[in-house]
Structure 1
Amino acid sequence: MYITQGLHRHLQARPHATAIRYLGRGITYAEFGDRVARLAGALKKLGVNSGDRVAMLSSNSLRYIEYYQAVPWADAVVNPVNYRWSAAEIIYSLDDSQTSVLLVDDNYKDLAQRIVAESKTVRVLIYAGDGDAPEGTLSYEQLIADNEPVEDARRGGDALLGIFYTGGTTGFPKGVMLSHNNVAFSSLASQQLGRCTASTRFLHSMPMFHLADFAAMVSLFSSGGTHVVLPAFSPQAVLEAIHNEKIDEILLAPTMIQMLLDWREATPVAQDYDLSSLARVGYGASPIPPALLERACTMFPKAGFVQGYGMTELAPVATCLTAEYHTPEHHISGKMYSAGKPYACVEVRIVDGQDREVPRGTVGEIVVRGPNVMLGYWNKPEATAEALRGGWMHTGDGGYMDEDGFLYVCDRLKDMIVSGGENVYSAEVETAIASHPAVAISAVIGIPSDRWGETVHAVVILKPGHVACADGIVAHCRERIAGYKVPRSVEFRDALPLSNVGKVLKTELRKPFWEGRRRGIS
């Protein structure tokens, strides 16, 4: 399999169908395919050879989607850059992967000048913006205009598709190597579950450098639907796009859903948006509090909710909780709050510290085996061997499986709190806190305790216009979870530190408490 197969299919069968809508303008599959083939020709003329790495530092755009198709078309390897990283982290990822060409848009053209000046490997900077190309850069649009289309190399199979760097918040990031087969398989598995058809209008609001959005992109090319692109996520932009573009599918992180709900409830004009076209809401990246999921189902009553659990190393999904389990019946059964069952052809186990499978209902580490599992970490053979020991991807997530094969994710193992010899999973405490009527979202961490080793600390964000006190939060939790799990301290904040896809950065929350102390997690 190769990643450009979907595009070829629709170039042949539906060349005049709309492929992409961006900033109110549409482009057909025929127009898009021609631009992709010309950009691939330009890259080859610039000296990009088979397997060379080509990076992009940009907000979401039509050109970003062209990049994802043109680079493999030119027989090269994609390296999408996390624009939230520091310059040092970006330069590290580019040099570590020996990236030679960098595409950059208007938002990051100044940063790119520093990157190119300090990078040891980047030799060509392409300006993928709308103005005149800055000095020292090549114009993206001029390259397309000046170059003839070339034949697709049809790079595929187990060949390297891309290096997707992950991490970077506690140290230098690791490059996850994914093959064409890895990502194409995930696309086919999602199709098997009914995701994306030729009539789908999918809204790209997650950052395109993130694998979750790229995987959705590949699925949409397989089906022939229409990509509707937002430059960046904002609650107003998303709701306006659903209203104006008649969006029927979207992918969001739980924190994004939270922001949508809060903004709509606080903004009278938002009630005028027609959201009835939305038929499917995909969510993932972190567990969703039950109270938030229930609010979201009320906001989008006609939409089927689908959860995907996985990670970049799994291209990116391992299990899926489909729409039929988001019902009152499965609210009662508890399956509505599971991560679902494994994708087709994917095996999932729960194991102990010696990699032995544990009994159903017992918490252990989630491990995964299947055609979606990464090739390994770029230039990190020891980390690869550790993660893939025994042929299974060790996720670092704690969870358990019920008798029906549904997976329940408890916590990142490194986020587990050990208090007085008892294991406390922060997600369980956060679920209890989330059911408080005044709470919008919370994050639970372990902080140092001379007596207990660690105690449970909650950082709470309140809903606009609501009030609560620390004692009230503690009392609310005490009615719902065991005493040793109840927060011993509570602080209120206006916002939580978030990653590029809306994951709470607990490392940042823990840092001031553990400065100068030894702790076995990072």
Structure 2
Amino acid sequence: MKKTVEAMPNYAPAIEHETMDPIGHRIQAFAHSQGNKTALIDEKGAVTWAEMISRSNRIANRLREDGLQTGDTVAGLSENSAEYTMLYLGTLIAGGCMVPLSGMASGEALALMIEDCDTRFLFVSEKNLDLFNEINDRLTRVTPERRIGLDTRSVDSGMDISDWLGDTSDEVRPASVTLDDPFNIIYSSGTTGTPKGILHDYRFRQRQLVRLANYGLDGDCINLVSTPLYSNTTLVSALPTIYNGGTLILMGKFNALRFLELAQEHKVTHAMLVPVQYSRIMAEPDFDKFDLSSFKAKLCTSAPLRGSVIAEAMKRWPGNIREVYGLTEGGISTTLDCAANPTKWDSVGVPTEGSEIRIIDEDGKELPQGEIGEIVGRAISMMRGYYHREQQTLDMLWTSPEGHTFYRSGDMGRLDEDGFLYILDRRKDMIISGGFNIYAVDLEKVLLEHPAVADVAVIGIPSEHWGETPLGLVVRKPGMTDSEQSILDFANAKLGKTQRIAGVEFRDELPRSTIGKVLKRELREPYWAGQKK
């Protein structure tokens, strides 16, 4: 795999005199300087720094005994746990490239991912055995003896990770790695075909680790992790916490009440959350009874956090909010300091240090400030490319007049007079009605002003007269009895003529990905069946 990575172009801007302190090397010192400090907490208990590093080193040494070479991939299919985190670290210490897999993927997609990433090791948790059993006869690259359980022996090898480790030494010998070596492959959340494998090298992660420490993810951090480790959302905060000697509290599955209990019990200082989690946590009836005074900052990513939710969280939940906008691929990076910018809460902030944002039209021409177009960006952290997919990598590139490579986001947005970025819609989700571009976020914002509306998604549906027209899919607040027509009338009275919504339909809930993104394609499918969109 290393040769494959080296063959990929490096689009990230150069940094003069750049040095690297690989995570597999850096964390070794913590075993001695703070060995008795808690490193990880999961539902089974606590793991000290000395215990975590000893276990991770044993995993690394065993992987190498089994033939792992620098750059080789190791795949894991598991919910968040201390053991899974130590497997991740052990892979990095050994010089391997970690491939965390989604337990929410279909069997077909998961089997394709495992084959696509060229892994020769697969570790599976007990909670994912049903999914594993659905696909294990389709796996050709991972031999049965290297299909190992994390907390179960019900796998082809008949071994859990402790059996596999045996009496392997915890001798400290982290592999030598370079900035160009692969760190991880994160698979996109595609629902059809094979999701794309996003390859990050050490350059990408090292620069991110340093930058995120500025958000307080340091040795004093107690970080409550409630999103899955196969998501870059999680890694953005979890890896810097470990890199700097902090503590991770790992939730195997998110539950709003349990989140609050853990936050109070462990005096949590930081958490990376997605927008829907903010709403669910603050909707807990006993939210205000919990002591959350230890919080210093909460981060948010994966989708824009609505200004109304920010306002409520800033009022009721101690600590600042830092909203982060970016792609798993990198290249685009903005941040919003909510405490410092109370008039900009509907934006996703300004470009981070070392990044640049531009707006382009359909022909790839740059647009002036204030005009709406596709967001493109370049930053100090940029992926090496989509693994095995050179053409798809090339398709997302935009070259500036100065000859710099930018990544296309697929998001539509605009920059205001102060350089703050506003996201309006995914390009593919934009509604074109009667020749006018309609951005769902504008309509959703108005619908959310109605006192009965708890959640909403606006999609385009077929219209014989207009080509397509907006439809509002609404989740009402508990106990509310307002009709679809009354909510429609409320919204259309506030919208311009070209924006007006054709109808409102109630839903019990909206389908979301595991990191909280509304699955609009799934919502649109019944309306567009047999038609082109």
Q: TM-score range by the shorter chain?
A: over 0.9
Sort the Cα spacing of 1:465 and 1:176 in 2 relative to 1 into closer, same or farther, 3 A: same
CA distance in 1, matches of 2:420, 2:375: 12
2:164 to 143, 156, 159: 143
Aligned to 1:477: 491
Q: Secondary structure at the match of 2:339?
A: helix
* Residue 310 of structure 2 is aligned to residue 297 of structure 1: no
1:325 to 340, 344, 348: 340
Counterpart code for 2:38: T
* Residue pairs, 1:81-160, within 5 angstroms: 81-123=101-143, 124-129=146-151, 131-132=152-153, 134=155, 136-150=157-171, 151-160=173-182
Aligned to 2:350: 341
**CA deviation profile, 1:254-297 (whole Å, cap 9, x unmatched):** 111122222x13xxx55532222222111121122322222323
Aligned to 1:286: 303
**CA deviation profile, 1:32-88 (whole Å, cap 9, x unmatched):** 111111001111222222222111110110012112211121121111101101111
CA distance in 1, matches of 2:25, 2:447: 46
- Which range moved further: 383-392 or 8-17? 8-17
Q: Secondary structure at the match of 1:357?
A: coil
Q: Secondary structure at the match of 2:450?
A: coil
* Residue 204 of structure 2 is aligned to residue 182 of structure 1: yes
* Residue 383 of structure 2 is aligned to residue 361 of structure 1: no
2:360 to 331, 335, 351: 351
Offset, 1:417? 0.3
CA distance in 2, matches of 1:356, 1:13: 54
Aligned to 2:266: 245
CA distance in 1, matches of 2:156, 2:124: 13
CA distance in 2, matches of 1:154, 1:324: 42
Offset, 1:6? 4.2
Unaligned 5+ segments in structure 2 are 1-19, 400-404
Q: Secondary structure at the match of 1:72?
A: helix
Aligned to 1:452: 466
CA contact (8 A) 1:3 1:180 kept: no
Aligned to 1:514: 528
**CA deviation profile, 1:470-511 (whole Å, cap 9, x unmatched):** 222222223433222121111101111111101000010000
Sort the Cα spacing of 1:307 and 1:270 in 2 relative to 1 into closer, same or farther, 3 A: closer
* Residue 70 of structure 2 is aligned to residue 61 of structure 1: no
CA contact (8 A) 2:148 2:156 kept: no
**CA deviation profile, 1:5-46 (whole Å, cap 9, x unmatched):** 542353353333221122263222221111111001111222
Unaligned 5+ segments in structure 1 are none
CA RMSD, Structure 1 to Structure 2 (Å) = 1.8
Q: Secondary structure at the match of 2:54?
A: helix
1:214 to 228, 235, 252: 235
CA contact (8 A) 1:287 1:427 kept: no
**CA deviation profile, 1:366-402 (whole Å, cap 9, x unmatched):** 1111221111111111111111242111111111111
Counterpart code for 2:296: A
CA distance in 2, matches of 1:74, 1:244: 35
**CA deviation profile, 1:97-128 (whole Å, cap 9, x unmatched):** 11211111110123223322211212211110
Aligned to 1:465: 479
- Which range moved further: 223-232 or 463-472? 463-472
Offset, 1:326? 5.2
Aligned to 1:44: 64
**CA deviation profile, 1:105-157 (whole Å, cap 9, x unmatched):** 1101232233222112122111101x555553322123344211251004241
- Which range moved further: 152-161 or 35-44? 152-161
Aligned to 2:389: 380
Aligned to 1:231: 252
2:379 to 361, 367, 370: 370
- Which range moved further: 376-385 or 26-35? 26-35
Counterpart code for 1:350: I
Offset, 1:161? 0.9
Aligned to 1:313: 329
CA contact (8 A) 1:4 1:154 kept: no
Q: Secondary structure at the match of 1:80?
A: strand
Sort the Cα spacing of 1:5 and 1:477 in 2 relative to 1 into closer, same or farther, 3 A: farther
Sort the Cα spacing of 1:5 and 1:368 in 2 relative to 1 into closer, same or farther, 3 A: farther
TM-score by length of 1: 0.93
- Which range moved further: 120-129 or 445-454? 120-129
What is the total number of aligned residue pairs between the two structures? 505
CA contact (8 A) 2:281 2:287 kept: no
**CA deviation profile, 1:417-451 (whole Å, cap 9, x unmatched):** 00111101111111111121111110110000011
Aligned to 2:187: 165
CA distance in 2, matches of 1:195, 1:162: 24
CA contact (8 A) 1:39 1:143 kept: no
Counterpart code for 2:467: G
TM-score by length of 2: 0.91
Counterpart code for 2:531: R
CA contact (8 A) 1:305 1:326 kept: no
Aligned to 1:429: 443
Counterpart code for 1:449: S
CA distance in 2, matches of 1:171, 1:439: 35
Q: Secondary structure at the match of 2:345?
A: helix
Q: Give 4+ residue runs of structure 1 displaced > 6 Å after superposition.
A: none
